[in-house]
Structure 1
Amino acid sequence: MAPNAHEAKMAHPRMAAGAPFFDAAGRVLMVEPSYKDYWEIPGGYVETGESPLHAAIREVQEELGITPPIGRLLAVDWAPNEAEGDKVLYLFDGGQLTQNDLGAIALQPGELKSFAFVSPEQITERTIPRLARRIRAAAEARNEAAPVYLEHGQKPGSEAA
């Protein structure tokens, strides 16, 4: 096979990384973007030459204005998108934010309108189904010894929630 043909068959996915943060009650911090009609977790696309972990750290700093320690990998989700093509999303454990961290949050101007801690049930009400599945799977993976692999926000072979 010619090198160009081989290259053409290889996936060139967009990568994104985020960090769910939690409160003492196990609720997840979600942010309300000004440019979308659904809520997300802090995160964004990985830039050229950047690791997914460093992208998550950078995005948290840009979006929330804080630099808490970002923990271990919780989930990897293969989630192709008709408009954007193949995507691989990494979720790292943001841990539980301290009162100092919460007090220091300064939302990215022009991009984020608000943030709130939401229960697992409320996640579904605030965001799209595949992202809700991804966030819930990552939250559950905090109690497991290893990260979870997902496709479209769910474990392969499982039914959509």
Structure 2
Amino acid sequence: MSAGPAQGKWTLPGGGIEFGEAPADAAVRECVEETGLTPVIGQILGIHSNTYDSDDGIERHGIRILYAGSFAEGAPAAVSPEDGEIDEVGWFPCDALPRPLTDWAVMGVRLAGEAQLSDG
């Protein structure tokens, strides 16, 4: 659950790319930071671009890359909200997702479902 701009909404792990970092490596790093689990990154499911006003009053341009991924084993680690990024971590079946969800999470679930259908 997000503690940032989408506070109180369930979302997907994610965040910024460090200078010189590959996007897939950033996805792995952010997932580890926010869930305690290391994902195996798969294909790109979608790319989303938008501009927004950040909390510091600066207009920003965000680009989100959604990857398919899996975990070999494990469950979400206990997370500490000390850093202010997240309040809670949870795993849910797609047909029993808690609400509210961020628009990005809704799009991710739809794209992941489409990818599973095309693989099967």
TM-score by length of 2: 0.70
- Structure 2 runs not aligned, ≥5 long: none
One of 79, 87, 95 as aligned partner of 1:107: 79
Task: Check 1:133–1:109 CA distance in 2 against 1; reply closer, same or farther (3 A cut).
Answer: closer
Is 2:103 the counterpart of 1:134? no
1:68 matched to which residue of 2? 39
Between the aligned residues of both structures, percent identity stands at: 27
1:55 matched to which residue of 2? 26
Task: Check 1:60–1:132 CA distance in 2 against 1; reply closer, same or farther (3 A cut).
Answer: closer
Give the number of the structure whose alpha-carbon radius of gyration is greater: 1
The correspondence of residues 78-93 of structure 1 with structure 2, limited to 5 A, is 78-83=49-54, 84-93=59-68
1:73 match: secondary structure? strand
1:37 matched to which residue of 2? 8
Return the alpha-carbon distance in structure 1 between the equivalents of residues 50 and 96 of structure 2: 22
Return the alpha-carbon distance in structure 1 between the equivalents of residues 44 and 112 of structure 2: 11
What is the aligned-residue RMSD (CA, Å)? 2.6
Return the alpha-carbon distance in structure 2 between the equivalents of residues 54 and 88 of structure 1: 15
1:46 matched to which residue of 2? 17
CA-to-aligned-CA distance 1:126-160 (integer Å, 9 cap, x gap): 223x3244223321342337xxxxxxxxxxxxxxx
Matched residue type, 1:115: V
- Structure 1 runs not aligned, ≥5 long: 1-31, 146-161
